[in-house]
Structures are given as C-alpha cells and as structure tokens.
A = this chain, B = another copy of it.
C-alpha cells in the first residue's frame, strides 16, 4: 500500500500528478488508515501479550487452521474455552500445546513473565465458580501480571474475606468472581480502595437465570469502585486488569 503512495508522491514531484490529483487520491485512501490501525493493533498485542483466541463456537477445523498458522510463525498463543476432549485431539497434531485443566485454556509457547508492575488478586466466592476464576487467573499470568488467587471466600462466611484485607489493599486490581447472589464484589469494594473488576458467573439454579442474578447485583452495587464484565468472562477481566496494570509502568 505504502508503495502505491510512494509512487504517487514521486509522480507529483516529477510533475506527472497535479497537487489536486494527489489530494483527491489521498481523500480516497483508506488503506493508509487501515495500515496504521493494524500496526497499532499488532504492536499493542505484542507488548508482552500473546495472541488470544476465543475457542468457544470455533469448529475443530477452524482451531486447527489458527494454531497451524501461529506455530508456523513461532508465535505464542492462548486459546480460551477449550474442553478436555477437543484439547486431546489438538494435542495429537500440535504436541507443544499445554492445557490448563480447570481454566479450560490452551497455551502454546511461552511461560508467563511478570512484565507489569502491578499485582492482580483473583477472588472467587464458591467452589463452583472455580472454572471462571481459573480462566481469569491463568489468563492474567499469561498476559504478564503478577497474579495471586484466593478462592471460596464467599460471603456465607464473612471472616474469610475480612482476613484478606491487607492483601486486598496491596493488589492493584482485584478480580472478584461470583455466581448466585453475586455479593462478593460489593463486600470486597466496601473493604478496600483497590478497583474491583466483577465477574458474574452462571453458577446457581432457579431464579439465577444463567448469571443474570449475579450480573444485576454487581451492576447495582451500592459500594463504589466496581465495574463489571460479561457473565463467565474470566478472560475479559484479566485483560482489563492487564490494561490497567500497563498504565502503571
């Protein structure tokens, strides 16, 4: 693309193109724009962040094609929402893949390095929220954050949360994962001034409505300092935490 532009500019210099001609060429030149975004995009992703693929809803065929490309290029890769069965099949073809069981995450290549200054603390309310919490935890480490976790600290036993107060304050970002009534982020935000990213989970039954209950709780929290990502979106929380942490450096 840049070549086309160069040629036009040379033509102008050589008098083969009028100024008006170049102007009109430029006004219809979306690619310069595209290029810069793409570069920017890529740069962003490469500053200590491996490529990330959402595995859910991708066919085995699509996954194979993607992994193939990346392993050819020698690039690191993180794939979310891959169940054990699908992983087993992929592993046959790509033996260098690793599986993070509880998190249902496949990674390829690099080991996590703590590239950012801040610390992320992943909390989960109950044993059943573990999958989502692990998705956040594994992702956060891969995205270069010094990451800690503390599970099963739900509000049915307040003492557990209360005992974490020092660690809550030490973290730069807290990721609080909870299903059912989703009260954990509210309680945590009431105890600390560290920003909380709340992850509602679809864990629960009855009038839980697939996580709607926890989602609404978190959005309506009377305790300030909470923002929310999508239901079960552990990766999304980790990604947001990473962007925050990178601003610290």
- Given contacts A155-B222, A165-B30, is CB(A19)–CB(B6) below 8 Å? yes
User: Which of A36, A202, A206, A208 has the most chain B CB atoms closer than 10 A to its own CB?
Assistant: A206
- A118 contacts across to B, CB distance below 8 A: 247
Q: Name the one of B57, B204, B227 contacting A228, with C-beta atoms under 8 angstroms.
A: B227
A102 CB to closest chain B CB, in angstroms? 9
Give Cα A38 to B181, complex, Å.
Answer: 21
Cα–Cα distance between A163 and B159 once the two chains are bound (Å):
14
Q: How far is the CA of A237 from the CA of B13 in the complex (A)?
A: 49
Nearest CB of B to A241, in Å: 9
| A155→B127 contact, CB < 8 A | no
**Measured CA separation A156–B221 after assembly (Å):** 9
What are 20 A-to-B residue pairs whose CB atoms are below 8 Å? A6-B19, A10-B19, A13-B19, A27-B32, A33-B162, A37-B162, A40-B165, A155-B223, A156-B190, A158-B158, A181-B218, A197-B227, A202-B206, A205-B232, A206-B219, A208-B230, A213-B220, A220-B230, A224-B240, A225-B243
Contact with B along A3-47 (1 / 0, CB 8 A): 001100110110000010011001111111111111111001001
